Amino acid sequence: MSFDLKRIRSQFPSLHITGNGTPRIFLDNPGGTQVAKPVVDRMNHYLLHNNANHGGAFRTSIDSDEVLHEAHAAMADMLNANSPDEIIFGANMTTLTFSVSRSLGRWLKPGDEIVVTRLDHDADITPWTMMAEDRGAVVRWVNVREEDCTLDMADFESQINERTKIVACGYASNAVGTINDIQNVIGMAHAVKALVFVDAVQYAPHGPIDVQKLDCDLLACSAYKFFGPHVGIVYGKYDLLDRLQAYKVRPADNKPPYKFETGTQNHEGLAGTLGAVEYLAWLGEEFGEGFESQFSGMSGRRLKVHAGMAASLQYERLLSERLINGLSQIPNLKIWGITNPNQLDRRVPTVSFTLKGWTPRRIAEKLAEQNIFVWDGNYYALAIMERLKLQEGGGMVRVGAAHYNTLDEVDCLVEAVRGLQ
Ligand SMILES: Cc1ncc(COP(=O)(O)O)c(C=O)c1O
């Protein structure tokens, strides 16, 4: 396939920095990706040329507002939203989810129900359970099938009923890489007029997202997971955002998205997010040929970003395959999640494992000695670790590839794990 890793990697300056003379192998991507060059350029330019607060009559403030508007428009392109006014920026996904959940909670009465899943990151669980406690709402939990770490869809269906008001579900698991059948979840929720909040933090760096096609009500992601800076983003249908009451100060704008963007935003972070979307558009420009026909009705940068992500998704399947093949041949090693070669389109290349006789932390430390960066622990996906009874033993080792990783890097990781003693 025509996915030129050399050219792609040339867009990421940090991939070329070595430590102790040995190249660094970044397989810690679900915790945060490396930053593309257009991101650094955009942030640099913002801070040197546009740095000002919002709404002034003078040059830098006018230019700054233009950058902030462009950042909203870029995210609308990336998510295929109807309008830049459907994009809310904030500190990170967790903070935004606490904020949006409190606003939604004002509509709930005692006895209303909220559905969460045991496969989710805690940032898509605790904001809802705390809000439910505040409002006297009932929380229902969807179970996970232990054999392949997928959501139990029959259980999901049984948890939804006429009292369900909100369903919170991840697009992909940051712990085990499962891509959830989110379209089906949205269909089930809408059938009883419940709102759906999708946590797309883990999915966003791996595949194209179309909020109009999904028809989700709200969707969250984080730019630092898709090659940008530390900024969180929530998409919401405009009418919903307009009706929701925001927790805001009185002089701030009363319209979406600004009423949810409390205080002064991380302007350089928004500029960097614009750079991240520009990088994804470059990816589509260079490698998206043959994928564009999947996105009828889109044009310009929007189409490029989606085609780029589709090309990335296809390449990443090779990474999943190589990782799973290699790791599954190591004695006493257990991969938690989908391993069936015919089902690799149901996962992202985030592959987690345990190895008999080793704590996850010790493995991560040994790999770090070889400049191979992986995560260990629960990565805040506490519910699934508890469900699999892995929390006490230190969770799992998570190998999280991104589209800039090479098959050679994957082989290197596999060999290093095989050589552990
Ligand atoms: C699936 C998922 N949801 C939510 C979060 C929280 O994101 P943030 O750090 O932007 O609050 C993470 C971060 O690891 C994540 O992986």
Which domains, ranges and CATH numbers included, belong to the chain?
A: 5-37+303-418 (3.90.1150.10), 40-278 (3.40.640.10)
Tens of pLDDT, residues 67-109: 999 999 999 999 999 999 999 999 999 999 999 999 999 999 9
* Neighbouring C-beta atoms of residue 332, cutoff 10 Å: 9
Atom of ligand 1 nearest to the CA of 92: 10
Say how far apart CA 404 and CA 411 lie, in whole Å: 15
362 has a pLDDT exceeding 80: yes
1 has a pLDDT exceeding 60: no
pLDDT of residue 146: 96
CA of 161 to the centre of ligand 1 (A): 28
pLDDT of residue 21: 80
pLDDT of residue 242: 98
pLDDT of residue 247: 96
Report which residue type is found at 85: D
Give the residues surrounding ligand 1 with Cβ less than 6 Å away. Answer: 30, 92-94, 121, 123-124, 170, 174, 199, 201-202, 222, 232
* Positive or negative: CA dihedral 105, 108, 110, 115: negative
Atom of ligand 1 nearest to the CA of 94: 11
Atom of ligand 1 nearest to the CA of 170: 1
381 has a pLDDT exceeding 70: yes
pLDDT of residue 421: 73
Say how far apart CA 80 and CA 22 lie, in whole Å: 41
Say how far apart CA 163 and CA 336 lie, in whole Å: 34
200 has a pLDDT exceeding 60: yes
pLDDT of residue 307: 98
Say how far apart CA 421 and CA 417 lie, in whole Å: 9
Residue of 201, 273, 348 best suited for mutating to test ligand 1, as the one with most atoms within 8 Å of CB: 201
Say how far apart CA 265 and CA 163 lie, in whole Å: 37
Task: Give the 3-state secondary structure of residue 81.
Answer: coil
pLDDT band at 235 (very low <50, low <70, confident <90, very high): very high
pLDDT of residue 22: 85
pLDDT band at 357 (very low <50, low <70, confident <90, very high): very high
What is the percentage of the chain residues whose pLDDT exceeds 90? 98
Tens of pLDDT, residues 12-48: 999 999 877 889 999 999 999 999 999 999 999 999 9
DSSP 8-state assignment for residue 90 = E
Report the candidate in 168, 114, 103, 162 with the shortest Cα–Cα distance to residue 136: 114
**Residue minimizing CA distance to atom 7 of ligand 1:** 93
**What pairs with residue 398 in β-bridges?**
352, 375
Tens of pLDDT, residues 251-295: 999 999 999 999 999 999 999 999 999 999 999 999 999 999 999
Measured CA angle at 12 (ends 200, 363), to 5 deg: 70
Q: Write out the two tokens for 178.
A: 């499962």
Max intra-chain CA distance, the chain: 67
Is residue 390 within 8 A of residue 354, CB to CB? The reply is yes
Say how far apart CA 329 and CA 333 lie, in whole Å: 8
Atom of ligand 1 nearest to the CA of 379: 14
404 has a pLDDT exceeding 90: yes
Report the candidate in 341, 338, 322, 347 with the shortest Cα–Cα distance to residue 405: 322
Strands 150-151 and 144-145: antiparallel
* Neighbouring C-beta atoms of residue 255, cutoff 10 Å: 12
